[in-house]
Chain A
Amino acid sequence: MSLATDHEYEHIGESASIADHDILAELKRPLPPRGVARAPEPALAASGARRAERSRHGVTAGREGRNERLAMGPGQPRTTPGTDHPPCRSERPFPARAVEAPAWTRLSCGMLAHQQRWSRPQDLRSLARVVVVAVLVTTGCKPTESRFFGTTTPRHGPDELWINNGGEPEWLDPGKCSDGAGGEILWNTFAGLVQAHPATLEPMPELASRWDVSPDGRTYTFHLRPSEWSDGRPLTAHDFVYSFRRLVDPVTASKYAGNGAIFRGGAAVSRGEQAPETLGVRAIDDLTLEVQLEDPLPYFLPMLTFYSFMPIPRHLLEDLDRRGIDTALWTRPEHVVCNGPYRLTEWRFRQRMVFEKNPRYWDVANVRLERVRVAMVESATTALAMYAYGDLDWPGSNTALPAEFMDRLSRCADLQSHPYLGAYFYWINTTVRPLDDPRLRRALSLAVDRRALVTYVARGGQTPAADLVPDGLAGYRGLGLPLFDPDEARRLLAEAGYARGADVPPITVIYNTAEGHKQIAEAIQQMWREHLGIEVRLENQEWNVFLTNAGLTNFQVCRMGWTGDYADPFTFLELLASTCGNNHSNWCSPAYDRLLREANREQDRSARLAKLRAAEALALAEQPLIPLFFSSRPQLLKPYVRGFSGNQQDRHPWKYLSIDIDFDSTGPPPVDPPAATEAS
């Protein structure tokens, strides 16, 4: 039932790209990872300090005496510019003088003299690092010039917004879409029964102006407001019935058919055991829709804001079919019919999409921008350069800012960060020796210094956690398990029958090839070695290979990320249900399954939360996975963009955004008025 997109590292994984995988990963390597691995805390702290130092020098250098300051790295004796050659080893401070235009000739000479050394990969890497650091040094956030990263003058009119979407979407069909890039577009081109409040994510009326809930919480009756498709055809409750049936119908082959399992009979229909017509959804009349649920789920309405539940223009699909056109192409701009705030008017493959305001959207009066231009830039570094240049106003929800830029960006006034409903953890295969012993699994968990991991390695403002469910999620009280307890870890290790960690057979951790995952794995390898003495091997795997092995539980320990779809503890807890296809630990507990089942049938909210909490405690006592941290979503946004609210799912409807053409970058920081207008 969950979106497993793992936004944080999505661009590295799903849309694998050479730039992100290899070259830019190398380019972006911020500090020698072996330094990280050798001695976690002091070394990590030291490298953090060193980075800060570097950046500071960069800033100063940008302001005054650029040539000389840049010509030397921090802590290096000053030499006459032009006579020294830049040090090329990766351990040495960076020779940022490559930045300077007048220094071109010197750069060439330096390279000639060092021809032999430059050809080595690590030297290329260090040269590459020069480039990236140099980009940072010269763009944005110089105290005397600007508090912002790059230009603060829009390159377009006040009616327009330029954003990035991280790549080509797979489907633009609400019934078939399953990726972040598609979701971003569906949320802005279609309107469902309810919408999420842009800040709190509470369900608000959209096409349904009001709804009634039966006393048992299993039947919802939605009263629709009269509205139209973008081609002028009236939109009725029958369209919703068609769309929900189509979502679960196996013939549609939707990867998110599972979302329809909340409807009565949904699971059976998607398995092909029942006809789609038996689904618990019916139109009482043109503007009244009745929905019956399998369980009285308290998170039904939040879930209904998800794009899988947007309506599909049945008349368009039938019309295309009559004309002999492949109905899979209905979302192309030449055909598409939608009902949301924007409609697609231009789609240049892997180049850009252009969206114009849809005059037939029911709430069009509150849509501010006329046009939104969406780029499909996969490389986050490229997106950052475009942002600095002004070709993007917002790198978008689907662009993860690279960790090594964060120190720099965190000093910019246009960076904002919001907690995010995403967990990062390590699965443990609970059926192979030696990890079949829960005491050893708990020892491993307690030996991870999560605070150090987040502060020095992940560096994105994440929240360290040993829990699976974030504290405070929809009223949930988190378990608050200890973040780090090496003594208890050693005690458990001894209890498990290992006098020394070296007696434990070596453990292998797999992760998908990406710099961020690698650094985290190396830090954990080091922590387990230091605090427990356990030998750990790391193995990176290409994305598809990794997913296959994870799916088959063909590993000992495996990194994973999970993004919650709705603000309810169940979105995380269902991961460990024995029936959940995403449970890769081989751990199954009938008691746990029963607790979850009982919780979802529970009418009383606090009793339900208590049951869920008991389930989490039961599972984590057995430690089938090691939670590490909850993600955060740092966002860069041009200061002239208004109406942006942070929220836990990183959803930012374009209809609330606007451009402040009078923005003055030298003035006081802009104060954003509350964005969301309560829909009537």
Chain B
Amino acid sequence: MIGYILRRLRGLVPTTLVIVAASFALVRLAPGSPFTSEKEIPPQIRRQLEARYGFDRPLPEQFLRYVGHLLRGDLGLSTKYPQRSVNEIIADGFPVTLTLAGVALVWALLVGITAGVIGAIRRNTIWDHAAMAAALVGISVPSFVLGPLLVLVVSLRWQLLPPAGWGDWRHVILPGLTLGTLSAAAIARLTRGGMLEVVQSDFIRTARAKGLSERLVVWRHMLRGGLLPVVSYLGPAIAGLLTGSVVVEKIFNLPGIGPYFVDAAFNRDYFLVMGIVLLDALFLLVMNLAVDIVYGLLDPRIRYR
């Protein structure tokens, strides 16, 4: 198991290098520069600005310097926010995004698994239909509709929670619900599907034959097998919550890293784009690894070599 993890981690190195090289090339291919502005900047001044970031050097040299800095953990300076380093920006924003994703995930799992289990156990009853109908709605309503709706009702109509901003627990609820609902709906459907598949399998029949109580059958045997599809969905879903927060963080004006996925590219903030891409890629890779590990814990048929 440990050996497996180490081998997987070693595999991350070339992947990461490719990602760094590709993002460096792509961001430099984009037309314009970080210093393109509506108002003309004199060439003398532009040269000074470029020198501050090392953009006056040949591209291969810039790339090597970037990789060198990267190895020392330095992600470079932002051009849009010239008083901040990319490290600082990510250190400021990542906890916010993680908190948001965490709340969304808890909400998604709580609602999703409950609805899925109810749907599977009470198959084809009104409960099942209600749960799946709700899931269908959850999947169909995009966050940029759900978010303003929640603001409208909860903040403006009922004056219960602030419509935007960051600071205390009141600020995280609406964005968390907005972000988590899509995943909740997906999880509900996956749980129900997974459970229904397991319901007819031999080991459930065995469990029942052993005389286990229905509650034990559901909780210990069915749920464990039924959650497998959910677990494989969770890895990319958690990474998706990070990128999905692009829209939600905009709507609720949260100081997370979500908006940089888009804004940094628009602003040609070279180092910030690369830093964010790298962070997201690493997160996705680690999440996938975590999913593989959890798989082994849930499914006795899977062994790591």
Residue on A nearest B268 in the bound complex, by CB:
A544
Residue on A nearest B138 in the bound complex, by CB:
A108
Q: Which residues of A contact B17 (CB under 8 A)?
A: none
Indicate whether B83 reaches chain A with its CB closer than 8 angstroms: yes
Q: Which residues of A contact B166 (CB under 8 A)?
A: 351
Given contact pairs A257-B45, A385-B155, A548 touches B32 in the complex (Cβ within 8 A): yes
A670 to B163, CA, bound (A): 28
Q: Which residues of A contact B88 (CB under 8 A)?
A: 349
A665 to B253, CA, bound (A): 29
Indicate whether B39 reaches chain A with its CB closer than 8 angstroms: yes
A606 to B137, CA, bound (A): 69
Q: Please state if A18 and B136 are interface contacts (CB–CB under 8 Å).
A: no
- Looking at A23, A24, A99, A150, which has the most chain B CB atoms within 10 Å of its CB? A23
Q: Which residues of A contact B259 (CB under 8 A)?
A: 17-18, 378
**Closest approach, in angstroms, between the C-beta of B285 and any C-beta of chain A?**
25
Q: Please state if A14 and B246 are interface contacts (CB–CB under 8 Å).
A: no
Q: Which residues of A contact B151 (CB under 8 A)?
A: 135, 385
Residue on B nearest A390 in the bound complex, by CB:
B159
**Closest approach, in angstroms, between the C-beta of A164 and any C-beta of chain B?**
9
Residue on B nearest A109 in the bound complex, by CB:
B133
The one of B82, B134, B148 in contact with A131, judged by C-beta atoms closer than 8 angstroms, is B148
**Closest approach, in angstroms, between the C-beta of A455 and any C-beta of chain B?**
27
Q: Which residues of B contact A272 (CB under 8 A)?
A: 44
Residue on A nearest B84 in the bound complex, by CB:
A349
Q: Which residues of A contact B2 (CB under 8 A)?
A: none
A349 to B31, CA, bound (A): 28
Q: Please state if B38 and A170 are interface contacts (CB–CB under 8 Å).
A: no
Indicate whether A379 reaches chain B with its CB closer than 8 angstroms: yes
Indicate whether A331 reaches chain B with its CB closer than 8 angstroms: yes
Residue on B nearest A541 in the bound complex, by CB:
B31
Q: Please state if B83 and A329 are interface contacts (CB–CB under 8 Å).
A: yes
Question: 1/0 contact trace for A385-396 toward B, CB 8 Å?
Answer: 110110100000
Residue on B nearest A176 in the bound complex, by CB:
B82
A112 to B247, CA, bound (A): 24
Q: Which of B54-62, B139-147, B210-218, B224-232 contacts A (4 or more CB under 8 A)?
A: B139-147
Given contact pairs A388-B156, A544-B30, A178 touches B39 in the complex (Cβ within 8 A): yes
Question: 1/0 contact trace for B130-173 toward A, CB 8 Å?
Answer: 00011011001110110011011101110100111111000000
**Closest approach, in angstroms, between the C-beta of A538 and any C-beta of chain B?**
19
Q: Please state if A108 and B39 are interface contacts (CB–CB under 8 Å).
A: no
**Closest approach, in angstroms, between the C-beta of B132 and any C-beta of chain A?**
10
Interface range for B = 35 or more
A378 to B262, CA, bound (A): 13
The one of A3, A15, A328 in contact with B39, judged by C-beta atoms closer than 8 angstroms, is A3
Given contact pairs A19-B250, A257-B42, A108 touches B165 in the complex (Cβ within 8 A): no
Q: Which residues of B contact A257 (CB under 8 A)?
A: 42, 45
The one of B38, B133, B136, B247 in contact with A4, judged by C-beta atoms closer than 8 angstroms, is B38
- Looking at A128, A135, A270, A581, which has the most chain B CB atoms within 10 Å of its CB? A135
* Chain B contacts with A in 263-301, Cβ cutoff 8 A: 263, 266-268
A276 to B48, CA, bound (A): 16
* Chain A contacts with B in 1-33, Cβ cutoff 8 A: 2-6, 13-19, 21, 23-24, 27
Q: Please state if B266 and A542 are interface contacts (CB–CB under 8 Å).
A: yes
Indicate whether A119 reaches chain B with its CB closer than 8 angstroms: yes
A139 to B134, CA, bound (A): 28
Q: Please state if B32 and A544 are interface contacts (CB–CB under 8 Å).
A: yes
Q: Please state if B30 and A119 are interface contacts (CB–CB under 8 Å).
A: no
Q: Please state if B45 and A18 are interface contacts (CB–CB under 8 Å).
A: no
The one of B148, B163, B246 in contact with A389, judged by C-beta atoms closer than 8 angstroms, is B163
Given contact pairs A350-B255, A379-B250, A548-B32, A16 touches B263 in the complex (Cβ within 8 A): yes
Q: Please state if A545 and B32 are interface contacts (CB–CB under 8 Å).
A: yes
**Closest approach, in angstroms, between the C-beta of B29 and any C-beta of chain A?**
12
Question: 1/0 contact trace for B229-270 toward A, CB 8 Å?
Answer: 000000000000000001100111101000100110011100
**Closest approach, in angstroms, between the C-beta of B49 and any C-beta of chain A?**
5
Indicate whether A37 reaches chain B with its CB closer than 8 angstroms: no
Q: Please state if B144 and A128 are interface contacts (CB–CB under 8 Å).
A: yes
Residue on A nearest B151 in the bound complex, by CB:
A385
Q: Please state if A382 and B251 are interface contacts (CB–CB under 8 Å).
A: yes
Q: Please state if A544 and B84 are interface contacts (CB–CB under 8 Å).
A: no
Given contact pairs A382-B163, A544-B31, A27 touches B156 in the complex (Cβ within 8 A): no
Q: Which residues of B contact A378 (CB under 8 A)?
A: 250, 253, 259
A349 to B38, CA, bound (A): 25
Residue on A nearest B91 in the bound complex, by CB:
A349
**Closest approach, in angstroms, between the C-beta of A75 and any C-beta of chain B?**
24
Q: Please state if B137 and A108 are interface contacts (CB–CB under 8 Å).
A: yes
Question: 1/0 contact trace for A336-364 toward B, CB 8 Å?
Answer: 00000000000011111000000000000
Indicate whether A582 reaches chain B with its CB closer than 8 angstroms: yes
Q: Please state if A111 and B140 are interface contacts (CB–CB under 8 Å).
A: yes
Q: Which residues of A contact B49 (CB under 8 A)?
A: 253
A352 to B164, CA, bound (A): 12
* Chain A contacts with B in 105-124, Cβ cutoff 8 A: 108, 111-112, 115, 118-119, 124
* Chain A contacts with B in 539-581, Cβ cutoff 8 A: 542-545, 547-548, 551, 580-581
Question: 1/0 contact trace for B9-52 toward A, CB 8 Å?
Answer: 00000000000000000000011110011111110110011001
A378 to B166, CA, bound (A): 14
- Looking at B32, B92, B133, which has the most chain A CB atoms within 10 Å of its CB? B32
Indicate whether A101 reaches chain B with its CB closer than 8 angstroms: yes
Indicate whether B221 reaches chain A with its CB closer than 8 angstroms: no
Q: Please state if B255 and A385 are interface contacts (CB–CB under 8 Å).
A: no
**Closest approach, in angstroms, between the C-beta of A610 and any C-beta of chain B?**
29
Indicate whether B89 reaches chain A with its CB closer than 8 angstroms: yes
Q: Please state if A543 and B145 are interface contacts (CB–CB under 8 Å).
A: no
The one of B81, B83, B133, B145 in contact with A127, judged by C-beta atoms closer than 8 angstroms, is B145
Residue on A nearest B46 in the bound complex, by CB:
A253
Other contacts beyond A17-B250, A385-B163, A544-B266: 19, CB < 8 A: A4-B39, A16-B266, A17-B263, A18-B247, A21-B262, A24-B250, A99-B152, A101-B153, A112-B137, A127-B145, A128-B144, A138-B156, A178-B39, A251-B48, A328-B83, A378-B253, A378-B259, A382-B253, A391-B162
Instruction: Please list the residues of chain B having a beta carbon within 8 angstroms of any beta carbon in chain A.
Output: 30-33, 36-42, 44-45, 48-49, 52, 80-84, 88-89, 92-93, 133-134, 136-137, 140-142, 144-145, 148-149, 151-153, 155-157, 159, 162-167, 246-247, 250-253, 255, 259, 262-263, 266-268
In the complex, 14 of the A-B residue pairs with CB atoms within 8 angstroms, ordered by the A residue number, are: A2-B39, A168-B80, A250-B45, A251-B48, A257-B45, A328-B83, A349-B93, A351-B167, A378-B253, A379-B250, A382-B251, A391-B164, A547-B32, A581-B42
Query: 7 closest A-B pairs (Cβ-Cβ)?
Result: A581-B40, A544-B32, A16-B266, A19-B250, A4-B39, A253-B48, A385-B163
